[in-house]
Structures are given as structure tokens and as C-alpha cells.
């Protein structure tokens, strides 16, 4: 994962696409409606980190939070751009793109319940084998819990950026 310091603007996250042919992929993205900001890259899926109490976690997926009225267009865009197969998720509001095994992050598409003005947002999800331990670890670092669901816990980091801790297996990515 790469972290960038911003001199201004809101916190958030974005997706870097790593490809062999930057020019062709940039042209494809532009033809699908994107704006190219330039290349950067490496591809490597790291192993989960084992924490002192024995649980394991890693940043596992980027979730695009897409306003209801933009969902079909956005999902079609990301499917066409990546060439990854689009599948239904574990809940009606989720779809995901099947990443190649060496790709570090899965791309989750979340259809927001309400229509919202403005573009899609994005947040990171961490997979872990013990959500409660991971949640406590984050709280000790200054995060706060927003809500707890059966398969994930939504958190705010100290700056207020939302992210989730999921029950997804940190090795396989599967929900147990």
C-alpha cells in the first residue's frame, strides 16, 4: 500500500491501476470517461501481518461507495477498464470484480441505498481472522467504531476517514 501526503483537500483514497501498456490502458480509460493522472507501479500481494496477540490482518480491498443513480455506469466502467469478471456479492448492494491472484487488492462495488449528489467515494477494507482484536488494536491507535455489522465493522481513523474491518479471511479473502 502506498500512502501519500496531501498539502490540501479532503482525506480519502483512490485506485492506481498497474498495467504493462500504460498508453493503451490510459486511452481505454479515457474512452470510457476517465481522466488519466499518470503511471506508478508495482504488483505484489503481501502476506497478512501477524500481530502480538496472534491475530492476522491486511488491507484487502478497495470499496467504491457508489451513489445508486451512478452504480450501473460505474460498475460497467470498472469492469471494462480492468477486464475482470463482475460478480454479485454477499449482499444485494455489493458486487465485486474477480482479481487475478497476484493483485494486492480486490475491488468491491457498493451500491449506496440513497441517491446522493456528487461522485463515488472510496474506502479501504482490512481482512482479519479476529475482528474484535483488530478493532481493539485500531481503537488503541486512535480510531473510533461507527457501526458493527455481522461481517464487518465500520471505523473512522483519527482524521475521520471511514474504513472497514471485515471477517474476510486474510489469506484467501473468503468470508468464513
Residue 173 lies in a domain: no
Residue 113 lies in a domain: yes
The tens place of each residue's pLDDT in the chain, 176 residues long, gives 444 545 555 555 555 655 667 667 677 777 777 765 544 445 567 889 999 999 999 999 999 999 999 999 999 999 999 999 999 998 999 999 998 887 888 999 999 987 777 778 889 999 999 999 999 999 999 999 999 999 999 999 999 999 999 999 999 888 88
Query: Looking at residue 68, which CATH number applies to its domain?
Result: 3.10.180.10
Residue 122 lies in a domain: yes
* pLDDT confidence of residue 168: 94
- Number of structural domains the chain divides into: 1
Distances, alpha carbon 65 to alpha carbons 125, 145, 175, in Å: 12, 19, 20
Report the relative pairing of strands 152-156 and 49-50 from DSSP bridges. Answer: unpaired
Q: Which residues contact 152 (CB under 8 A, 6 or more apart)?
A: 125, 131, 164, 165, 166, 167
Residue 25 lies in a domain: no
* pLDDT confidence of residue 41: 47
Residue 7 lies in a domain: no
Residue 44 lies in a domain: no
Indicate the SS3 state at residue 174. Answer: coil
Residue 11 lies in a domain: no
Residue 96 lies in a domain: yes
Distances, alpha carbon 136 to alpha carbons 29, 43, 56, in Å: 40, 30, 13
* pLDDT confidence of residue 113: 85
Q: Which domain holds residue 56?
A: 49-166
* pLDDT confidence of residue 116: 73
- Our CA angle for 112, 144, 131, nearest 5°, is 80
Amino acid at each position: 500500500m502506498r500512502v501519500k501526503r496531501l498539502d490540501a483537500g479532503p482525506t480519502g483514497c483512490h485506485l492506481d491501476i498497474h498495467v504493462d501498456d500504460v498508453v493503451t490502458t490510459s486511452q481505454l480509460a479515457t474512452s470510457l470517461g476517465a481522466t488519466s493522472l499518470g503511471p506508478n507501479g508495482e504488483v505484489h500481494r503481501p502476506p497478512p501481518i501477524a500481530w502480538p496477540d496472534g491475530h492476522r490482518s491486511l488491507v484487502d480491498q478497495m470499496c467504491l461507495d457508489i451513489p445508486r443513480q451512478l452504480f450501473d455506469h460505474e460498475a460497467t466502467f470498472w469492469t471494462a477498464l480492468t477486464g475482470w469478471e463482475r460478480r454479485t456479492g454477499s449482499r444485494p448492494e455489493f458486487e465485486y470484480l474477480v482479481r487475478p491472484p497476484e493483485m494486492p487488492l480486490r475491488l468491491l462495488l457498493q451500491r449506496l441505498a440513497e441517491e446522493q449528489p456528487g461522485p463515488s467515494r472510496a474506502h479501504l477494507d482490512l481482512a482479519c481472522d479476529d475482528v474484535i482484536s483488530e478493532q481493539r488494536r485500531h481503537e488503541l491507535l486512535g480510531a473510533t467504531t461507527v457501526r458493527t455489522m455481522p461481517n464487518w465493522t465500520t471505523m473512522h481513523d483519527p482524521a475521520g476517514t471511514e474504513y472497514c474491518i471485515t471477517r474476510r479471511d486474510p489469506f484467501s479473502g473468503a468470508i468464513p
